[in-house]
Amino acid sequence: MSHDDDGLPARRRFLAGGAAAAAGALTGGLAPSRGRAAEAGPPDIPEWMKVPGADVGSQTYGTPSRFESGVIRNVPQRLKQYLSASSRTPLQDLDGIITPNGLFYERHHGGVPDIDPARHRLMIHGLVETPLILTMDDIRRFPSESHIHFLECSGNPGFEALNGRTASDLVGLVGCAEWTGVRLATVLREAGLKPEARWVVAEGADAAALTRSLPIEKCLDDALLVYSQNGERLRPQQGYPLRVLLPGFEGNMSVKWLRRLNVTAEPAYSREETAKYTDSMPDGTARQFTFVMEAKSIITRPSGTQRIAAGFNEITGIAWSGRGLIRAVEVSVDDGRTWQAAALQAPVLTRALTRFRLPWTWDGRPTVIMSRAIDETGYVQPSFAALTAVRGLKSFYHNNAIVPWRVAASGEVTNGYA
């Protein structure tokens, strides 16, 4: 091992110097805290080291620390939650790419049914050789698979819903999980598809009997019949005991509380694919069956309602695309005048959230920061101006525009659309 003049190994000197430099960048020259937060720090012995901690007790399902009680789903108060309801993932409070089950966004149209899995049945009929009625035990007998995918509501956000304060307010109708279940193709082949089969009409067992038409190509590709999420059985809000998952497609198509699959030659043209989940265009026409969620990203730290200090700050966020892998994320710290490549955190998975990071030394002057995703097809996430130049402002669904954050001289971060 080589040594420098003072006798220290060169590698050790490099590490020590790097650590000192990093510490200086992070503290920005600020003096150590002398407030109450520092009282438990070395060399003092904190009070929680002086007595035994809590035992397991009667807590049969783990819960977060009481100091994380503010990390909760974002539930809009203006909605009639007992009928048409949604809650949003607190994106700005999360790390990595996996959304905890208790924080995963939800959307339902007729309340959350309380389904006994022993009594639940899945019917498969229509253009099949052998109609089937399957119990949950039957479904779990098929070969299972686990895959990590995002799920996103197509109204995330609407074109006129740009006045939120946080990342959750703006695009919190998205989450990413490891889903476990059976390939839909496996079950359909068990029933035997007739040659004229082109669509599968999926119906949920909720009070709305939510119904969507699924193209047969997707059903025979990567679609899943899902019964578990992040290693445990689906929660009622996520479709317990069974849902469809169509990776990369708008969330409404991943029908929850699944009870029926009707194989047909034509789509059903249900309420959820005519009056809703279509895109009104400036010329009076409507885009229908716009299933794929296009490439999108958002900076989650720093983001709305947060405050930063001058000096080093890490910019981080998430990106995703319904068309496959995220190939790059570019970040601008000067209101879109210039862009630089962010680092993508492994693993980078198809149709999953991808975490990106960029080191940034803020000079303390007001600015606007933003990100744009580029997927493996070469598609580049558009600005809001570019998107509405084509789509107009009559649309509600499929807004994947760049989200800007305004950073004030005080370090306060606010919605850049405002």
| Domain-located, residue 206 | yes
Q: Considering only CA atoms, give the Rg of the chain.
A: 25
Same structural domain, 251 and 121: yes
**Tokens 């089969």 sit on residue:** 197
Name the amino acid, one letter, at 17. Answer: G
Q: Contact, 326 vs 320, CB < 8 A? A: yes
Could you read off the pLDDT of 285-303 as tens digits, one per residue?
999 999 999 999 999 999 9
Amino acid at 262: N
Q: Residue 66 has which token pair? A: 């009481």
Cβ atoms of residues 85 and 108 within 8 Å = yes
In this structure, is residue 126 part of a structural domain? yes
Burial 130-140 (b: 16+ CB within 10 A, else e): eebebebeebe
247, 262, 284: which is the final residue of a domain?
A: 284
What's the half-sphere exposure (Cβ side, CA atoms, 13 Å) at 230?
14
Residue 341 maps to a domain:
yes
Of residues 84 and 207, more confidence is placed in 207
Question: Are 213 and 339 found together in one domain?
Answer: no
Q: Which domain holds residue 103?
A: 85-284
Residue 418: per-residue pLDDT: 76
Q: Are residues 158 and 270 in the same domain?
A: yes
User: Looking at the predicted structure, is the pLDDT value of residue 140 above 50?
Assistant: yes
Residue 323 has pLDDT above 50, yes or no: yes
Evaluate if residue 158 carries a pLDDT over 50: yes
Cis peptide before 347 (omega within 30 of 0): yes
Give the CATH number for residue 329: 2.60.40.650
Question: Residue 289 falls within a domain, yes or no?
Answer: no
189 and 264 together in one domain:
yes
pLDDT of residue 23: 44
| Calculated CA dihedral for residues 11, 14, 17, 20, nearest 10 degrees | -80
What is the mean pLDDT of the segment spanning 154-179? 94
Q: What Å distances lie between residue 180 and 146, 198, 243, 259, CA to CA?
A: 4, 26, 11, 18
On whether both 148 and 221 belong to a single domain, the answer is yes
Rounded mean pLDDT of 116-121? 97
Q: Is pLDDT larger for residue 192 or for residue 84? A: 192
Looking at the domain assignment, is residue 1 inside a domain?
A: no
- Give the mean pLDDT of the chain: 90
> Which amino acid, residue 313?
N
Question: Are 269 and 320 in the same domain?
Answer: no
- Of the listed ranges 53-57, 98-102, 184-188, 213-217, the one predicted with least confidence: 53-57
> Does 409 score more than 70 pLDDT?
yes
More confident residue, 371 or 37: 371
Looking at residue 79, its pLDDT comes to 60
pLDDT at residue 43 in the model: 87
Least confident of 28-32, 170-174, 227-231, 298-302: 28-32
pLDDT at residue 49, as a whole number: 80
CA torsion sign for 9, 14, 15, 16 is positive
Closest alpha carbon to 89 in 77, 110, 112, 71: 71
Query: CA angle, 296 as apex, 231 and 346 as ends, to 5°?
Result: 50
Contact 91, 355 (CB under 8 A): no
Classify residue 8: in a domain, yes or no.
no
* 233, 109: one domain: yes
Q: Which residues 6+ apart lie within 8 Å of 407 measured at CB?
A: 302, 308, 362, 366, 367, 368, 369, 413
Model pLDDT, residue 389: 94
Do the domain assignments include residue 204? yes
Domain boundary among 233, 261, 284: 284
pLDDT score, position 122: 98
> Which residues are CB-contacts of 190 (< 8 A; sequence separation ≥ 6)?
130, 132, 142
84 — pLDDT class (breaks 50, 70, 90): low
pLDDT band at 332 (very low <50, low <70, confident <90, very high): very high
Q: How confident is the model at residue 219 (pLDDT cuts 50, 70, 90)?
A: very high
Look-up: residue for tokens 């790097």?
A: 18
Q: Please state, in angstroms and rounded to a whole number, the distance separating the CA atoms of residues 336 and 328.
A: 16
Same domain, 204 and 109: yes
Question: Which residues lie closer than 8 Å to 186 by C-beta, 6 or more apart?
Answer: 142, 143
Reported residue count of the chain is 418
pLDDT value, residue 38:
55
Q: Domain check: are 269 and 367 in the same one? A: no
Same domain for 276 and 342, yes or no, is no
Quote the pLDDT of residue 161.
80
pLDDT digits (tens, 9 = 90+) for 52-73: 888 887 778 888 999 999 998 9
Tally of CA atoms within 13 A in the half-sphere of 366 that contains its CB: 6
Pair 157, 193 in one domain = yes
Q: Is residue 254 part of a domain?
A: yes
Helix (H) or strand (E) holding 96: none
Q: Report the candidate in 376, 373, 372, 340 with the shortest Cα–Cα distance to residue 358.
A: 340
Q: What's the mean pLDDT in 135-139?
A: 98
Q: What is the CATH number of the domain that holds 152?
A: 3.90.420.10
Domain boundary residue, one of 242, 257, 284: 284
Given this model, what pLDDT does residue 83 score?
Answer: 56
- State the total domains in the chain: 2
pLDDT in tens, 21-33: 444 444 444 444 4
- Residue 385: is its pLDDT beyond 60? yes
DSSP code per residue over 33-45: P-SGGGTTSTTS-
Residues 213 and 331 in one domain: no
